[in-house]
Amino acid sequence: MNRNISLLLLILSGLIFSCSPKVLGENIAKLERKKTVELISVLDSLSLLRPQTLYTKIGTKYRDTTQDVSFKTSVRMIRDSAMSALITFASLPIFNSILTPDSLTILNKRAKCFTKSKLSYIKENFGIAFDYRNVEELILGMPLAYEKEQKYFQIHDPHNYIISSHRRREIRRSDKKEKLQDDVIFKYFLRDDLKGLKRMEVESKIDSATVEVNYISRQMVENIAVPNEVNIRIFTPRNSIEIWMNYDKVEINVPQQLFLVIPEGYGVCE
């Protein structure tokens, strides 16, 4: 497996509009119109549901233009501090990684080497400039990069409740290559009952990169609706990536210990 997969598990962050009958069958009936302020209030409430810690095991299927693999990942997170991911293949540990607000370290156990880098590594390899807080939000199924002080807009759709960082006409102008003042567009799709987030889209015009996230199902743990099944798609000029993640054995607000030791004799990965 490519060593970038361990990072991808962290940043996606859990990222889709799939062509499966299950997704295509959603939202056939028209929804009741809602005021923009009501939808933004829902997003605001969801953005506050951030647990102190998280532990989960994630069954993952990863596919891009060069490979198609399945593996398991153990994720531990301490809010605003650090997140670790241990990837196993055929029950054997292959990658171990730890992400902090300032750095990323990946340990390749098979090749007996390690990589240390800044968070710019994420953009360099996947086309989207996520920071540490964004990674937590994706894994927890929270509104990505939502800021209470920012102005948001409703995109009226008879079948979806959508809040966007940009007006529809701004997005249309950007499609015609007219430069946006802000080069990243966020769209949040709320559940029909307004009790949660079902989907997100992130588009970076400058980088020609798009991330689509579909939270297909969720599970209630300690009164927080954490992801259960997630589908993620990433499109960049260099690659097309799809990930399916199934969360298992989720623990919320249980003390977690995070550590990564680089064994003696390990060199820097080339």
241 located within any domain: yes
pLDDT at position 168, please? 81
CB 79 within 8 A of CB 136: yes
Concatenating the DSSP letter of every residue in the chain gives --THHHHHHHH--------SHHHHTTT-SPPPP--HHHHHHHHHHHTT---SEEEEEEEEEEE-SS-EEEEEEEEEEETTTEEEEEEEETTEEEEEEEE-SSEEEEEETTTTEEEEEETHHHHHHHS----HHHHHHHHHTPPTT--TTS--EEEEETTEEEEESS-HHHHHHHHTTPPPSSSEEEEEEE-TTSSSEEEEEEEETTTTEEEEEEEEEEEEETTEEEEEEEEEEEE-SS-EEEEEEEEEEEEES----------TT-EE--
pLDDT at position 10, please? 38
> Would you say residue 5 has pLDDT above 50?
no
Distance CA 232, CA 191 (A): 18
pLDDT at position 82, please? 94
268 located within any domain: no
60 located within any domain: yes
Q: List, for residues 55-100, the tens digit of each pLDDT value.
A: 999 999 999 989 899 999 999 999 999 999 999 988 899 999 999 9
Q: List, for residues 123-170, the tens digit of each pLDDT value.
A: 565 555 678 898 899 999 999 999 999 999 999 999 999 999 998 877
What is the C-alpha end-to-end distance of the chain, expressed in Å? 15
pLDDT at position 198, please? 95
Residue with more model confidence, 189 or 172 = 189
Distance CA 262, CA 161 (A): 47
CB 228 within 8 A of CB 33: no
269 located within any domain: no
Residues 6 or more apart in contact with residue 216 via CB below 8 angstroms: 22, 228, 229, 230, 231
Distance CA 62, CA 2 (A): 11
CA angle 82, 2, 60 (to 5 degrees): 65
Tell how strand 224-235 and strand 113-118 pair up: unpaired
Q: List, for residues 192-219, the tens digit of each pLDDT value.
A: 999 999 999 998 877 788 999 999 999 9
State the residue for tokens 């509104």: 143
> Would you say residue 120 has pLDDT above 90?
no
- The Cβ of residue 169 has, within 10 Å, a number of other Cβ atoms equal to 9
Q: List, for residues 13-59, the tens digit of each pLDDT value.
A: 333 333 333 444 444 688 999 999 999 999 999 999 999 999 999 99
Tell how strand 160-164 and strand 184-190 pair up: antiparallel
The DSSP bridge partners found for residue 68 are: 63
87 located within any domain: yes
CB 233 within 8 A of CB 32: no
Give the tokens for residue 120. Answer: 């710019």
What pTM, to 2 d.p., does this model score?
0.80
- Domain span at residue 117 reads 4-263
CATH number at residue 216: 2.50.20.10
Residue 231's Cβ-side half-sphere holds a number of Cα atoms within 13 Å equal to 12
Structural domains in the chain (count)? 1
